[in-house]
């Protein structure tokens, strides 16, 4: 996908061209004993002269981008699944020989995905066999080819010794995502590539809902929003901004963006919020009924929800055509005599490349009104806006909403569950945020309140660090964090998320412009140290109490305990000031989650300590033959902060374990350095940018997709302070002047320089 089929044979490879495929494969049997393609297996036999053939037939019309062919020698894991109509489907996962035992969790995730899709969306699998092929050299994560999914083995292989809890969660989500495409993408595909979010945004929403049902819905939602804010919000605010449904593109490979996928998912989620669970289900049922076997458009999709519910989503559809993250500014007042609470809301959609002015959007805001005792106020009446249940519909540029029958001043909890992908400008008092953080019935809102409590503190800390002034931390923040972390009524996974301060990129986004990454880190470190030293005994209790006993299991509860324990370890490393505890945790770890967490604390907190050197060498020696684990070894070191990072990365590139031909390895070292090491990459002397320019020009002739994707790490270069932004501009100009640039890279670099 998108245009690979034209490299196989002559064909009009637009997605609207649907056909039934019969495939006959002939190959030398000794080197290619396995011959696979889409659909059902018709049969095979010898073909003379050491060759053999296999025939496959896919009865379902499909576009050419869903064609797949695999020939080679692979191991296999087999199982079966009985569909809701009683058909038995053969399931096969093919992996490189010797890796078969590590595919068991992927098989389990596949079976759970198939059952969930039947139960929640009524979608039954439609072939006699479903296959996954996982290989170690793959540019993307995975691909939903009909009945024959092709995967990067990073998202298939797992066992306790080599995979973290996050790896297990990623495998579960991506197995589900590609399987769910069987209906949202394959059975109903896109008329043209401008409709890409029709299949990707919708299917991301479906895999998010699946993971939420398999694990903790609140914790999953927090993780989704963290990812959205760190990856998609910067894209929406920079030179690469584009609508969820773009109107132009130069290079189709650069079309697969976080805006299309993640913001596209959020737009689908808002439809579900506006119409409710039953209304959304009715719309999806009509969508499948009308468009099965069809190549559809966004308009087709939206009309199904309108027709099924008698709704008007005309204004809402602006979410598909207007780029930029809406900013909603909020103020409130309370009239005790009248018993009225008033919210004044104003929305603004910032200018983006190609469009300076925007129309007001339909923004659905989940809300609650908290009283002092932690209960929620129920208004007698609401005027000034449409309110359905707990959703306030902001549709005008400015609206004033009055809630009557409120006996005492409430604290408003707004945009619960992140019901709309917006920036919210609202400055409640720290005491109000602390009340939401401790008492809100919506766990996401509690986490968001902690973030809102922390961010002003961190922004001010960054400003003071830059000015050379002492940093002060609000004790309310530290005390609230510690209280929530110790609240055993809350699940450990949520408490671990609560302890994670907003990241350096979050702070940079809040500052907006003229950013100094060194000052941002210094300020954040000062706040983190204050929290860590406020009550070290509390963190020690969390660390000791959340040790998991017995054999490793990747279930959500156990993963939550490990997450909380390792969050406590990170704080203890700061309060201890020595590597001893982390070194002991590394030595005693019996699973990859704890092992890699301890190694990260050692490397990032004590990079020059002998304990760190010993741990890094022990990790390398133990896992040298496991490519996916060694990727972790490279990533942990490439994200060690500070000016020494670049020299470390260059040294690691000379390691015999570094393979520049393997996309995963390049992403693990070069990509992770550029995306996830703000101080190491954004050096004041520009050396990090010059290094990246060299790497992009070297990678591009061999793997333009990979080069272009890594280059997007510089998407926010204009938000840097002047010295760094000048260096970044020069590095981008160096790339732009490169000879024989691919269309992938030239498209990205030209938009970055122009935007």
Burial class from Cβ neighbours inside 10 Å (0-12, 13-18, 19+) for residue 194 reads: middle
The CA distance from 201 to 296, in Å, is 14
Out of 178, 200, 209, 224, the active site residue is 178
**SS3 state at 330:** strand
Under 8 Å between Cβ of 370 and 439? yes
Three-state secondary structure along 243-263? CCCCCCCCCHHHHCCHHHHHH
Cα distances (angstroms) measured from residue 679 to each of 16, 122, 465, 505, 640: 46, 49, 14, 11, 9
The CA distance from 238 to 712, in Å, is 11
User: Strand pairing partners for 55?
Assistant: 24, 43
Measured in degrees and rounded to the nearest 5, phi and psi for residue 327 equal -110, 120
Angle at which helices 492-499 and 217-227 pack, to 10 degrees?
Answer: 30
The Cβ of residue 288 has, within 10 Å, a number of other Cβ atoms equal to: 16
Angle at which helices 517-534 and 556-576 pack, to 10 degrees?
Answer: 100
Angle at which helices 104-121 and 165-180 pack, to 10 degrees?
Answer: 50
Secondary element (H or E) of residue 121: helix 104-121
Active-site annotation holds for 178: yes
What is the number of helices (H) and of strands (E) in the chain?
A: 29, 21
The CA distance from 121 to 525, in Å, is 46
**SS3 state at 547:** coil
Helix/strand/coil percent split, the chain, to 5: 50, 15, 30
Which candidate, 23, 110, 104, places its Cα nearest to that of 68? Answer: 23
Taking the C-alpha atoms of 186, 189, 194 and 195 in order, what is their torsion angle to the nearest 10 degrees? Answer: -110
**SS3 state at 521:** helix
Which candidate, 385, 692, 679, places its Cα nearest to that of 521? Answer: 679
The CA distance from 689 to 712, in Å, is 12
Strands (E), 136-251: 142-143, 148-152, 188-190
Which candidate, 585, 648, 595, places its Cα nearest to that of 622? Answer: 595
The CA distance from 344 to 400, in Å, is 4
- Which residues are marked as active site? 178
């Amino acid at each position: 996908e998108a245009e690979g089929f034209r490299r196989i044979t002559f064909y009009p490879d637009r997605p609207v061209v649907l056909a039934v495929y019969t495939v006959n494969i002939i190959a030398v049997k000794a080197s290619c004993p396995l011959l696979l393609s889409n659909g059902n297996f018709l049969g095979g036999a010898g073909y003379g002269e050491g060759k053999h053939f296999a025939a496959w037939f896919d009865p379902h019309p499909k576009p050419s981008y869903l064609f797949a062919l695999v020939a080679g020698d692979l191991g296999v894991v087999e199982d079966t699944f009985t569909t809701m109509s009683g058909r038995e489907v053969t399931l096969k996962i093919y992996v490189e020989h010797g890796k078969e035992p590590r595919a068991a969790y992927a098989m389990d995730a596949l079976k759970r995905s198939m059952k969930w899709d039947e139960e929640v969306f009524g979608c039954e699998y439609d072939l006699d066999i479903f296959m996954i092929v996982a290989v170690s050299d793959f540019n993307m994560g995975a691909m939903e080819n009909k009945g024959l999914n092709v995967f990067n083995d990073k998202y298939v292989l797992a066992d306790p010794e080599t995979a973290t809890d996050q790896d297990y969660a990623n495998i579960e989500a991506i197995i589900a995502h590609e399987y769910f495409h069987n209906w949202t993408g394959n059975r109903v595909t896109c008329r043209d590539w401008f409709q890409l979010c029709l299949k990707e945004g919708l299917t991301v929403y479906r895999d998010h809902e699946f993971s939420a049902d398999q694990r903790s819905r609140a914790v999953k939602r927090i993780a989704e929003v963290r990812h959205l804010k760190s990856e998609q919000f910067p894209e929406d605010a920079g030179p690469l901004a584009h609508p969820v449904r773009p109107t132009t593109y130069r290079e189709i490979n650069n079309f697969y963006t976080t805006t299309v996928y993640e913001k596209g998912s959020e737009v689908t989620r808002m439809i579900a919020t506006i119409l409710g669970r039953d209304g959304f289900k009715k719309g999806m049922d009509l969508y499948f009924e009308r468009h099965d076997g069809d190549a559809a458009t966004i308009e087709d999709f939206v009309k199904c929800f309108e027709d099924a519910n008698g709704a008007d989503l005309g204004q809402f559809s602006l979410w598909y055509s207007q780029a930029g993250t809406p900013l909603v500014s909020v103020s409130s007042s309370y009239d005790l005599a009248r018993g009225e609470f008033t919210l004044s809301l104003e929305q603004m959609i910032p200018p983006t490349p190609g469009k300076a002015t925007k129309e007001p959007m339909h923004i659905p805001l989940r809300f609650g009104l908290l009283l002092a005792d932690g209960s929620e106020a129920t208004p007698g009446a609401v005027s000034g806006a449409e309110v359905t249940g707990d959703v306030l519909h902001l549709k005008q540029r400015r609206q004033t909403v009055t809630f009557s029958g409120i006996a005492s001043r409430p604290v408003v909890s707004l945009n619960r569950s992140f019901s709309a992908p917006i920036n919210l400008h609202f400055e409640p008092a720290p005491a109000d945020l602390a009340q939401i953080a401790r008492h809100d019935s919506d766990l996401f809102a509690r986490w968001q309140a902690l973030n809102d409590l922390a961010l002003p503190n961190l922004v001010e800390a960054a400003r003071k660090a830059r000015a050379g002034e002492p940093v002060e931390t609000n004790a309310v923040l530290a005390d609230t964090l510690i209280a929530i972390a110790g609240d055993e009524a809350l699940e450990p996974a949520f408490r671990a998320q609560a302890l994670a301060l907003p990241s350096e990129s979050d702070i940079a986004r809040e500052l907006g412009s003229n950013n100094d990454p060194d000052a941002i880190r210094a300020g954040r470190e000062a706040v983190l140290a204050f929290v860590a030293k406020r009550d070290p005994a509390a963190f020690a209790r969390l660390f000791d109490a959340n040790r998991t006993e017995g054999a490793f299991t990747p279930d959500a509860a156990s993963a939550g305990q490990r997450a909380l324990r390792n969050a406590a370890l990170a704080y203890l490393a700061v309060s201890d000031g020595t590597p001893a505890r982390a070194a002991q945790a590394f030595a005693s770890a019996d699973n990859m989650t704890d092992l890699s967490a301890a190694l990260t604390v050692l490397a990032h907190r004590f990079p020059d300590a002998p304990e760190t050197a010993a741990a890094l060498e022990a990790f390398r020696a133990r896992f040298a033959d496991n490519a996916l684990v060694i990727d972790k070894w490279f990533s942990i070191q490439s994200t060690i902060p500070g000016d020494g990072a670049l020299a470390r990365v260059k040294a690691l590139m000379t390691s015999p374990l570094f393979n520049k031909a393997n996309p995963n390895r390049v992403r693990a070292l070069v990509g992770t350095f550029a995306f996830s090491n703000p101080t190491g990459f954004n050096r004041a002397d520009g050396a990090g940018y010059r290094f990246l320019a060299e790497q992009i020009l070297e990678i591009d002739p061999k793997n333009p997709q990979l080069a272009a994707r890594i280059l997007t790490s510089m998407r926010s270069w204009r938000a840097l302070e002047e010295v760094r932004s000048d260096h970044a501009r020069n590095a981008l100009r160096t790339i732009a002047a490169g000879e024989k640039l691919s269309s992938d890279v030239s498209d990205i670099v030209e938009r970055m320089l122009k935007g």
